Amino acid sequence: MSDNPDDTFKFLFPLKLILDEDKFGNSHYEVVVKNMSKSEVFTYQVSPELLFTHFPLYKSFKNGEKTESNPSKEIFEKIFTIDSSLINNSIEKKLNELLDKKTIGTLLGWNYKYLDTARFINCYLIEQDNIKIIIPHYAIGIYYYFRFSEMREAALDCNIESLYVMCNDNRADAKIVLPTPRTDEDAAFIHRYACQPMAQNEFENISKYIHHYLKYMREHDLDEEIDGVHLKINFPVKEKFKIETRVSLVTNKETKEEYYFIHEITNDNSDIGFDKFTKIVEQNKIITDLEDLENLSKVDREIPEETTEILKVKDANKKHTSTQHRKDRKKSCGSLLNIEIEHETQTKDIIKDLLKIYQEQDNNDKVDQSLTESSSKGDKATRRVIISSEFDKEENRPLNEIDNFVVFRQYMEFLKQQSTIKNFTLSEVKNLPEFLIEKAGEKKINPKCKMNKRTRQYLTATFKYEKFYVGLLELENYPSSAASSWVIISDSVITNNTFDFFINLYFKDNNSIPDIVMNYKKANPKFTKKNHERNENLDEIQLAKWYAGLLGKINL
């Protein structure tokens, strides 16, 4: 799209979530896009929140700006009253269970190229008042869970705690403390997922479904390449409420059944969980002296290694210029109608008084007042607090994290015991170099080289199998990441230079793993991947299946 700034485009249909191997929170939707100027249909990867904030489905834009050209006359606004307490597995359908191929093709820009993927998206079928409504799960996700980039990351990584410092759920006087400023709507949604058990459960289920799906697929075929997933997403409340939508009326050509297909949820009036809401932004220190600026500590920020460039900046015609992609949102969330909202900015030392915390419950760990993470290897310790009697007690569950190096070493121990494996070696833990890449005209350390604000690590192993020399590389990764090792096959000995060559491709040249696999799957040395379990206690069957799969990849 950046190569055609004068053309008009429409995002039409999210096909699936393309998983980021290193961090699920950085995953993107693969979306069907139509170039209206050239009548061409293609797919494009976009951050899910952009479909909420900037580029709603079936709306035209040109060079990053909304345009009224090529209006989607088949799309219209409609309000439905739904009862989400009636939504269950019995009304969950694949799209091809409701619509025929030709009708699905019309949703894809009158094109059938991506039909095989689109027909398997997850939907709810609601039948009421003599009408049938199709609600794609992606429409629920975009409105409720992917409202801004940090919320998308938290949902996909199962980490709501990253969005707030502390909160209480007193309906008459709810409060939330935020580490960074948020809009009233965003703060209210964070509070909903932090304090309401049902909403929190649905928030966490998004990431859990990804893990369960990958586990299920790999139990059936450990070596199947899984680059994307059709998400399953539910509403965060169980009640009757109204949703404002943009829909089209579609008819199954075979059954003649007529449906309202919801392309976008634009607003709702579901119960947000409080009648009064105070949004408190945590402020560590107020700078009163310019000399204090020199003493401020610097904190590295982990930036997603792959971001989608929607459009190029226009050529400058003045000394300074910039392009802004304007948000499409114009009205407040209906759930906040008649809700009294107050705003405060406070320093850490008085926030406890504001929330009336009078006791910390000992959980046998040394835990800071805010959420602390012990490391990427171990349990995540979370604050447990008791709020004064007007509030409910809130306890966060520790999130178990499995060190992928522990898992990898189990496979290596099994591997070196096999009689067909010769000259086996396993390295000590190594630190990655900090490769620089260019972002926004500046040289910065590739965020893929960092983990938890420190240098990322890796392990390597080498061996000979029959006439082939093999190298395995295991990158340290997040518990929410996919579990796989690099596999390098050659007809000559694998050396550190061999590993460095592929490390440079991924970190220095910033190529993606799928691109490296595609470019070197028939080369010598050959590059591929080997999926594995994330289990600290692998049994003999799991080890043997992994070993058999690995041997199947060793060829040139």
Q: Taking a C-beta distance cutoff of 8 angstroms, is the pair 527, 521 a contact?
A: yes
In the sheet that 76-83 helps form, which strands lie side by side, from edge to edge?
Answer: 76-83, 240-251, 258-268, 131-136, 122-128, 92-94
Q: What is the sign, positive or negative, of the torsion defined by CA atoms of 378, 445, 26, 431? A: negative
Upper half-sphere CA count for residue 17 (Cβ side, 13 Å): 33
Distance separating alpha carbons of residues 112 and 290, to the nearest angstrom: 62
Name the more confident of 282 and 236. 236
In the chain, the N- to C-terminal Cα span, in Å, equals: 38
Q: What is the pLDDT of residues 260-270, one digit of tens each?
A: 999 999 999 99
Distance separating alpha carbons of residues 407 and 386, to the nearest angstrom: 37
Q: What's the token pair of residue 150? A: 């940090």
Average pLDDT for the chain: 82
Would you state the pLDDT for residue 69? 84
Q: What is the pLDDT of residues 411-435, one digit of tens each?
A: 999 999 999 999 999 999 999 999 9
Q: What are the Cα distances from residue 212, in Å, to 124, 128, 176, 231?
A: 20, 32, 32, 11
Q: What is the DSSP string of 166-192?
A: EEE--TTSEEEEESS---HHHHHHHHH
pLDDT band at 518 (very low <50, low <70, confident <90, very high): confident
Instruction: Please say if the pLDDT value at position 257 is more than 60.
Output: yes
Would you state the pLDDT for residue 227? 74
Distance separating alpha carbons of residues 116 and 123, to the nearest angstrom: 16
Q: Taking a C-beta distance cutoff of 8 angstroms, is the pair 356, 388 a contact?
A: yes
Q: What's the token pair of residue 344? A: 């405060």
Give 67: exposed, middle or buried? Use CB within 10 Å, 0-12, 13-18, 19+: middle
Instruction: Report the interhelical angle of 197-220 vs 184-195 (nearest 10°).
Output: 70
pTM of the entire structure? 0.70
Q: What's the token pair of residue 547? A: 């070993």
- Please state, as a whole number, how many other Cβ atoms lie within 10 Å of the Cβ of residue 96: 17
Mean pLDDT lowest among 122-136, 338-352, 452-466: 338-352
Task: Give the mean model confidence (pLDDT) for residues 273-293.
Answer: 68
Would you state the pLDDT for residue 354? 60
Would you state the pLDDT for residue 67? 87
Name the more confident of 9 and 347. 9
Would you state the pLDDT for residue 150? 93
Would you state the pLDDT for residue 189? 97
pLDDT above 70: percentage of residues in the chain: 79
Q: Say how far residue 297 (Cα) sits from the centre of its chain.
A: 29
pLDDT band at 408 (very low <50, low <70, confident <90, very high): very high
Would you state the pLDDT for residue 327? 54
Q: What are the Cα distances from residue 277, in Å, to 176, 191, 273, 443?
A: 8, 9, 10, 43
Instruction: Please say if the pLDDT value at position 399 is more than 60.
Output: no
Which range, 304-308, 326-330, 381-385, has the best average confidence (pLDDT)?
326-330
